[in-house]
Amino acid sequence: MPTILDAPPPEVAADLAGLRAALDAAIPPRVLDRNLLAATWNLRAFSDLTEKWRSGANDSPKRDLHSLLCIAEMVSRFDVVAIQESRANLKALRHMLKALGRNWGLILTDVTEGSAGNGERLAFVFDTRRVRPSGLACELVVPEEKLSQIGSDALKRQFARTPYAVSFEAGGKTFILITLHVLYGKVAADRVPELKTIAGWMADWARDVNRWDHNLIVLGDFNIDRRGDALHQAFTSTGLVVPDDLNRVPRTLWSNPDQPDLDKFYDQIAWFADPSGAPMLSMNYLQGGGFDFSSHCLRDRGLTRDSLSWHISDHLPLWVEFGTRN
């Protein structure tokens, strides 16, 4: 049986070489003590793994070693990545870490119980040569008094999947990343209470000067349908700002570059800004983007986009770059 650390077959090696070239052109290089690259990625049902280079028609899951090496190659371009939809079975995640190498670390939650939680975990993977945990790791639990508020858009129970916050240090800068995967629900209105609550929580935290640091960044899958819709308004209701260059970046395999305003706006990276619009961060925001891997992975298989989503993901990675020097 092949393993993730074996030399890949020639056709897999050629596919990975093409992916690396595309990543070189799309993602800025990581420069020690100069910049920080953070990303968020919902990896569809990131759980089990078929330990073959090419999964067959009867194999489940479809995610195979070739697919996982593609995922690892994309993750390796960033310093820290928030991953949503990791599951109880950590096989794919553990093998991805093997492919990334011993310099990569992992921090994750336990499994969210209950049907709404979908058996998911929230995770951060990070390059220990570039960033290190700086002490804080916590799940955000809503106080009882917040759960008793009156209103159709008030949160009545804990988050379906508890948001997860971890602090990191890079280049002398400390930053707290808060990730979550908002409940999808039966209708869009079901998502508003969680979106409003996380926005309010972030605002309270940002105002508290006694917290660990003012570099508060929220990232993850917020299941926002459209920019400017009721879900987006709930998310930004307390002053969270999405950088302009992320507003027209595709989020999913089914995004239409000719109609970006109709795209799903699920994945987000945001922080607070002062009245002038300047980020309330001690790091300098440089740029952000996404990466559409659909034409660069598993190119010889003739997969439909739906099939590709089970090999890699239905979501695209979303990233931001910060300068860490004053």
Q: β-pairing, 267-272 with 318-323? A: unpaired
Question: Could you identify the residue written with the tokens 């951060």?
Answer: 124
Residue 209 confidence (pLDDT): 47
Tell me, letter by letter, the H, E, C secondary structure of 183-203. Answer: CCCCCHHHHHHHHHHHHHHHH
**CATH superfamily of the 10-26+35-323 domain:** Endonuclease/exonuclease/phosphatase (3.60.10.10)
Q: Which of 260, 225, 246, 216 is nearest to 319 (CA)?
A: 246
Residue 42 confidence (pLDDT): 96
Residue 282 confidence (pLDDT): 85
Q: What is the pTM of this model?
A: 0.92
Q: Which of 73, 48, 75 is nearest to 62 (CA)?
A: 48
pLDDT under 70: residue ranges of the chain: 112-118, 142-160, 183-185, 208-214, 257-263, 326
Residue 168: CB atoms within 10 A of its CB come to: 24
Residue 210 confidence (pLDDT): 43
Residue 212 confidence (pLDDT): 47
Check if the beta carbon of residue 288 is closer than 8 Å to that of residue 322: no
Provide the residue ranges of all domains of the chain, joining segments of one domain with +: 10-26+35-323
